[in-house]
Structure 1
Amino acid sequence: MIRLAAATSPVDLAWAAFDAAALRLNYLYRLVDLTTDTPADRAQRMKLAGETARLWDEWRMLFLSDSSGDAS
């Protein structure tokens, strides 16, 4: 695991974190049943949406400031 962290760029790590959060959020929305949805359920989705947006902003900042020129 240490080798992976050393070989993976901060941009790629930030993308992986964002991607995982976005997939979790998408999964939660697929499971929404409006007949049984509660304020607590909505609050959980809003919290995850906020975290997903934060991770996107973090990735974007790293990506735009990456001087390596490697966008892949």
Structure 2
Amino acid sequence: MSRTAYRFVDYVTRQDPTGELSWSAVCVSGDEADCGAFSGETDEETAVKWMAEHTRDTEHTRYRRTFVDYATVEPKA
């Protein structure tokens, strides 16, 4: 009979500084249904500019923003 020893390791996640970040926004203004206009994945500055221009053109003021990054998983020290 053999014995098995299990070693448990705690991990931590960190933002990967080498990964490219991206932002997007979807217009969720509307009475009956969401507008649905989408900025596409872009950088933060462009996403903010897109929301401002969409508000200017449509008077819509409510958006769902998404931020995407890359992460690494490392053993906790």
Query: Shorter-chain TM-score: what band?
Result: under 0.3
TM-score (normalizing by structure 2): 0.24
